[in-house]
Amino acid sequence: MTKSANSRLAERYRVKKANAFRLKKIDPNDRAGLESEEKAAERLAEGVLRLADLQSRLYAEHKRSVLVVIQAMDAAGKDSAIKHVMSGINPQGVMVTSFKQPSAEELDHDFLWRCNQRLPAAGHIGIFNRSYYEEVLVVRVHPEYLEAQHLPEELVGKNVWKHRFEDIRNWERHLVRNGVVIRKFFLYVSRAEQKRRFLSRLDEPEKNWKFSEADVKERAHWKQYMRAYEDMIQNTSTDEAPWYVVPADHKWFTRLVVAEALIHSMESLDLEYPRVDKKRKRELSAARRELIENG
């Protein structure tokens, strides 16, 4: 799998002109002409190996970190994508955080606070399964959640979402300027495919544990969520922290796109293992002689 192949598939779904982005132009069933799940699996396996090598270099270089943000409607395949794409990476170098309903402590802080606590350290990959973007998605669809955030009344007026978009852009810019590479993925599943997956969770006993009545209730707000996602992408997809809108009706294809977008992004960093200077080389040579002579 070549760099150009990674680039072509990744760039197909990268949002380049945020102001002109329209969700209706994306087909959740799109597979970019790839019809063979088996060949895609082979390509993904190669990608997993490449990601493992890139993560090893990132860890050794210890200058930058990578933050992967994954947002989606329920049953779009977030967990599946994380599991398969990151399957070959050293667990010591990656941390996955799944953000649930905020705790009382988290609600006592600003909306970015809890995510700030979980940012990846230098040399690491951090994955946010849902993220601070919930604050302009679920909180926007359910304004009653905003009321629980202990904000002064004058700060929750008609411009609250505009201000939050601005805060997110500024925060992400700050992170990028401090060595954090940010890549954001919206896994775009169709309403029909989500329904099929929900029914599968009900019909197959081994999947019953995945089903939640709350997920079904959220389907009633599908149009509001789609408007919120579109507005979010239009206002927060930037050159330094882009969104990728990934068709998610076929999980095997979703995984491949996410993997190749990460590979393309990390390859662009030209990651290298640290090189030792002449003094250190002399020290290593001395250590080698000692091991040979006194071993």
In eight-state DSSP terms, residue 14 is B
203 vs 218: CA distance, rounded Å: 20
Structure confidence by residue, pLDDT tens digits, 209-255: 888 888 888 999 999 999 999 999 999 999 999 999 999 999 999 99
Identify whether the C-beta of residue 160 lies closer than 8 Å to the C-beta of residue 103: no
251 vs 77: CA distance, rounded Å: 6
Q: How confident is the model at residue 6 (pLDDT cuts 50, 70, 90)?
A: low
Residue 263 reports pLDDT greater than 90: yes
State the residue for tokens 């919120």: 228
C-alpha distances in angstroms, 74 versus 88, 100, 116, 219, 264?
Answer: 26, 13, 24, 9, 27
Contacts 24+ apart (CB under 8 A), 194-198: 194/73, 194/74, 194/75, 194/76, 194/219, 195/219, 197/75, 198/75
**φ and ψ at 68, to 5 degrees?**
-110, 120
Q: How many H helices and E strands in the chain? A: 13, 5
